[in-house]
């Protein structure tokens, strides 16, 4: 059987695309190739999720349909985090130059996203960013939808799985029925350029779809649906409830390539480190562990008595305490706290603004691909913060309990006592 070498991360070539597509569509009728695909489908391991499991929309509250006007942040992720959608390119080790050069699968995925308004005219794609292993998009629902956002995203997800199955077969057998990459990073910055390049994107998608349809015809439904679809998890949907969330979300999406570049250039500060023993406790941590070797540590814990006194007009004790925390930090003392209350968060903001090192105790652990939030990311990259948690990550956790607040403040005092002696 003839095998065509992959054009890995090359730029788009229409003539090559056409020739390769013709090859595949003609050779897929070949009996030996068809038999080979049947064998491949039966040997696939790892994709054993049942349809019942796939139908769980865990992000949606029971009884809600989200049909009305609104803004939604959509995230589609490759389950095992393979970099199948693009390659991160960093120039001169400068994370601000980071761009993602898309693979053919990445381009086809973007085309699927941009085609949503053709099927749902009430929806507008406001913004998107493709990363090597996931996609972010902001959708604006301008009119009430007949079926709701879940049905829309379900259809998008099914279309991406069709592309994923074609990609799985093509890459496994080193077949390239489509171009491998196009440097279209300007697309997400200029809507007019999106329209200009839409034909190229559509052609890429059509190659995937034609290949996928031919696979299904030759293999039959049972074997075809055993192929790994790449996108095995439902897209996550987050509704945006107020005006400030839109610019913050767009900024977060746009910063994704730069954050990934920073993590790759400084992996030690972003890798989850297990089993950091301090005193008699063990913590998981993210950030600069050398902070633990400093000489002086002090907890930040604003007492309720100070807050209540301030509410009744006597704010001097509260102001004096908060000022003392900042003054200690300016003298080289590492401040340690879960920074839970409003006043403690204000102290933390001063530490961030003045680039002071500190230790943050988190109320939840770290998932495998943990990424600090905006205000912590730069501090992590600069080695100015260490985030510790005594607990493992709990995906269902939403709020911190009073017992956890007390426990974390106690741990902050323990850490300071142990490290300062």
Report residue 161 as tokens.
Answer: 């799985």
- The residue among 27 and 287 whose pLDDT is bigger is 287
pLDDT tens for each residue of 323-379: 999 999 999 999 999 999 999 999 999 999 999 999 999 999 998 778 888 778 889
Which ranges of 44-93 does DSSP label H, i.e. alpha helix?
51-54
* pLDDT at position 75: 94
Mean pLDDT, the chain, integer:
78
**Cα distance between residue 75 and residue 237, in whole Å:** 7
- The residue among 237 and 66 whose pLDDT is bigger is 237
Q: Residue 196, SS3?
A: helix
* pLDDT at position 86: 94
pLDDT tens for each residue of 249-269: 898 899 899 889 988 888 888
pLDDT tens for each residue of 374-414: 778 889 988 999 999 999 999 888 789 999 999 999 999 99
Contact 278, 415 (CB under 8 A): yes
Indicate whether 169 pLDDT > 90.
Answer: no
Task: Report the run of H or E that residue 276 belongs to, with start and end.
Answer: strand 273-278
What pTM value is reported for the model? 0.61
- pLDDT band for position 229 (cuts 50, 70, 90): confident
**Cα distance between residue 90 and residue 240, in whole Å:** 32
Report residue 113 as tokens.
Answer: 């996203």
Contact 400, 340 (CB under 8 A): yes
- pLDDT band for position 204 (cuts 50, 70, 90): low
- Other residues' Cβ atoms within 10 Å of the Cβ of residue 27: 17
Contact 310, 318 (CB under 8 A): yes
Indicate whether 45 pLDDT > 50.
Answer: no
**Cα distance between residue 412 and residue 360, in whole Å:** 9
Nearest to 280 by CA among 185, 128, 379, 414: 414
Lowest mean pLDDT among 48-52, 174-178, 213-217, 299-303: 48-52
Angle, helices 149-172/104-114, rounded to nearest 10 degrees: 160
Task: Report the run of H or E that residue 17 belongs to, with start and end.
Answer: helix 14-27
**Cα distance between residue 260 and residue 420, in whole Å:** 35
Report residue 390 as tokens.
Answer: 């005594």
Phi/psi region, residue 92 (left: phi>0; alpha: psi -120 to 50; beta: rest), is left
* pLDDT at position 242: 60
Indicate whether 165 pLDDT > 90.
Answer: no
Angle, helices 149-172/198-219, rounded to nearest 10 degrees: 70
* pLDDT at position 173: 58
Q: What is the DSSP letter of 364?
A: S
For the CA atoms of 222, 41, 77, 379, the dihedral, rounded to the nearest 10 degrees, stands at 160
pLDDT tens for each residue of 187-203: 333 333 333 355 566 66
* pLDDT at position 394: 92
- The residue among 183 and 166 whose pLDDT is bigger is 166
* Phi and psi at residue 197, to the nearest 5°: -100, 5
Cβ-based neighbours of 55, under 8 Å, separated by 6 or more: none
- Strand segments (E) across 65-221: 70-77, 86-91, 94-103, 123-130, 134-141, 181-182
Contact 125, 142 (CB under 8 A): no
- The residue among 217 and 135 whose pLDDT is bigger is 135
- pLDDT band for position 46 (cuts 50, 70, 90): very low
- pLDDT band for position 14 (cuts 50, 70, 90): very low
Lowest mean pLDDT among 161-175, 291-305, 370-384: 161-175
Q: Residue 148, SS3?
A: coil
Which residues, listed in sequence order, are joined to residue 338 by a DSSP beta bridge?
none
**Cα distance between residue 351 and residue 329, in whole Å:** 8
């Amino acid at each position: 059987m003839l095998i065509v070498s992959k054009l890995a991360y090359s730029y788009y070539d229409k003539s090559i695309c056409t020739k390769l597509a013709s090859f595949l569509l003609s050779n897929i009728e070949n009996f030996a190739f068809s038999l080979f695909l049947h064998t491949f489908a039966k040997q696939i391991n790892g994709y054993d999720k049942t349809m019942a499991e796939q139908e769980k929309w865990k992000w949606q509250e029971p009884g809600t349909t989200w049909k009305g006007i609104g803004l939604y942040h959509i995230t589609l992720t490759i389950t095992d985090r393979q970099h199948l959608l693009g390659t991160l390119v960093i120039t001169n080790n400068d994370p601000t130059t980071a761009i993602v050069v898309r693979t053919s699968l990445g381009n086809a995925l973007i085309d699927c996203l941009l085609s949503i308004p053709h099927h749902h005219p009430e929806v507008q794609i406001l913004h998107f960013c493709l990363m090597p292993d996931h996609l972010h998009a902001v959708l604006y629902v301008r009119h009430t939808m007949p079926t709701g956002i879940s049905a829309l995203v379900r259809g998008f997800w099914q279309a991406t799985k069709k592309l994923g199955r074609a990609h799985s077969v093509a890459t496994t057998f080193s077949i390239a029925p489509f171009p491998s990459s196009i440097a279209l990073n300007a697309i997400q910055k200029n809507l007019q350029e999106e329209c200009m390049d839409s034909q190229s994107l559509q052609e890429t998608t059509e190659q995937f779809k034609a290949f996928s349809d031919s696979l299904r015809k030759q293999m039959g439904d049972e074997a075809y649906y055993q192929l790994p679809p790449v996108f095995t998890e439902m897209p996550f949907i987050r509704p945006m409830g107020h005006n400030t969330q839109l610019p913050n979300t767009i900024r977060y999406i746009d910063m994704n390539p730069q954050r990934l570049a920073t993590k790759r250039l400084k992996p030690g500060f972003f890798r989850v480190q297990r089993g950091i023993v301090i005193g008699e406790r063990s913590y998981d941590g993210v950030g600069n562990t050398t902070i633990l070797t400093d000489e002086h540590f002090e907890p930040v814990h604003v007492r309720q008595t100070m807050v209540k006194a301030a509410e009744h007009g006597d704010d001097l004790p509260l102001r004096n305490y908060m000022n003392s925390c900042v003054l200690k930090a300016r003298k080289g003392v590492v401040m340690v706290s879960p920074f839970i209350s409003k006043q403690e968060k204000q102290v933390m903001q001063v530490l961030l603004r003045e680039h002071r090192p500190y230790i943050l105790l988190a109320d939840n652990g770290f998932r495998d691909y943990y990424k600090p939030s905006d205000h912590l990311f730069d501090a992590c990259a600069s080695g100015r913060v260490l985030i510790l948690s005594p607990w493992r990550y709990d995906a269902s956790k939403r709020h911190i309990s009073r017992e956890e607040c007390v426990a974390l403040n106690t741990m902050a005092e323990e850490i300071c006592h142990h490290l300062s002696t």
